[in-house]
Chain A
């Protein structure tokens, strides 16, 4: 069985478990809806043009909902000891990383499928367009990838709930910033050339962080 098929089996196992319990997705979803409602009412009163704040609000929701999912995905598996069972198997640690990252990215995509229409409804802006969906997907892949690595690291510590945001947010800033700028550019209908540098940064972040996570995961999971 190939490396990628094993990674897929790990992701599929996480997705199947989640489909049965809906613990993680319901938490992420409830959090996202509440934050969108808060933003919608706050900005409606104070900001003249919702389009100036909506991209930032979108990525705040994605980042924090993703963090909830990341914490839950890794800690529950480590607490139950099933992560040890996974480490006992003779598969490449990078395949475990890929499988876990794939699982969390799928959950984030599921939440984003709810978030984006809500942004359209509450902010009356055209978030449901292919360019923005592509940018959201790129940002999610990078964030989910590095988040999986850092959640694995922090899950083995006593301060895990606190440690993950402290580690993840500073590292993810370039990706979040680039994603916000790209989303704003696409939302305003500006030429790609105007925000191409930010798009390049987002792609570079995904490649570098996923590549680095892939390489160092072996060292992270051994004590």
Chain B
């Protein structure tokens, strides 16, 4: 579903990614952890078609980037640590606007369905800027899933959330594990990331330096291995 070969991204003299290879199978939930500056956000921005790699090839849902970017975008949903919403539009208006951009069929019904799922149906006519951080993230999930994407990218989605809002968000993100969607999530919280995924990768110094299958390795081993490979 996601294939990246020899990805390099350079910002001036700084190399954010150094020949990174990644393959994520359809329906798989992959968590990427790593220290600050490891290149996690850069990688997700490239996978989301928001940034072009300096070198290397990326293919999303069979569409090679950048040529197939428009087709790939129809298959991608991104949830970031920023909600990526319009604060002065209501919850409903935000979803309606993005729904029209994606040509979502039966848009009004889809909006109601998603607002109901993220428990914002009663606040649908309130402006997004009046929402708490947790509510904004829930609305952002609705925005990311509006067009029913096959690939969901989660860029540190728990950042800035209180424990209650984080737990609520985690419950919603578990719904993505339906075997139909491919999910790639970057996160700082090793335990939470581990609990949610099928496979965990460690990104450090612009490369994948370690990977573990959650069915084979336990979280304690993963934590000690993480310390070792990122030291």
Chain-A contact segment, one of B18-26, B72-80, B183-191, B207-215 = B72-80
Chain A 187-208: CB-based contact to B (< 8 A → 1; otherwise 0): 0000000000000000000000
User: Which B residues, 60 to 74, have Cβ-Cβ distances below 8 Å to chain A?
Assistant: 70-71, 73-74
A42 close to chain B: CB less than 8 A:
no
What DSSP secondary structure best describes chain A's contact surface? helix
Give bound CA distance, A120 to B85, whole Å.
42
Residues of B within 8 Å of A, CB-based: how many? 30
A90 close to chain B: CB less than 8 A:
yes
Give bound CA distance, A97 to B97, whole Å.
16
Q: Are B101 and A222 in contact (CB under 8 A)?
A: no
Contact of B102 among A16, A82, A89 (CB under 8 A): A89
Q: Which residues of A contact B78 (CB under 8 A)?
A: 84-85, 88
Q: Are A85 and B85 in contact (CB under 8 A)?
A: yes
Give bound CA distance, A80 to B80, whole Å.
11
Q: Are A85 and B98 in contact (CB under 8 A)?
A: yes
Q: Are A90 and B97 in contact (CB under 8 A)?
A: no
Give bound CA distance, A6 to B82, whole Å.
24
Q: Are A80 and B82 in contact (CB under 8 A)?
A: yes
Q: Which residues of B contact A9 (CB under 8 A)?
A: 97, 100-101
Chain-A contact segment, one of B49-57, B110-118, B163-171, B173-181 = B49-57
Q: Are A90 and B50 in contact (CB under 8 A)?
A: no
Give bound CA distance, A13 to B82, whole Å.
19
Q: Which residues of A contact B84 (CB under 8 A)?
A: 80-82, 84-85, 88
With A88-B49, A90-B70 known as contacts, the answer to whether A6 contacts B85 (CB < 8 A) is no
Q: Are B73 and A89 in contact (CB under 8 A)?
A: yes
Chain-A contact segment, one of B30-38, B87-95, B195-203, B219-227 = B87-95
Q: Which residues of B contact A80 (CB under 8 A)?
A: 82, 84-87
Q: Which residues of A contact B86 (CB under 8 A)?
A: 13, 17, 80, 82
Q: Are A90 and B143 in contact (CB under 8 A)?
A: no
B127 close to chain A: CB less than 8 A:
yes
Question: Could you list some 11 contacts between A and B, CB below 8 A?
Answer: A6-B100, A9-B100, A17-B86, A17-B89, A80-B84, A81-B82, A84-B82, A84-B84, A88-B49, A90-B74, A223-B45
List A residues at the B interface (Cβ < 8 Å).
1, 6, 9, 13, 16-17, 20-21, 80-82, 84-92, 222-223
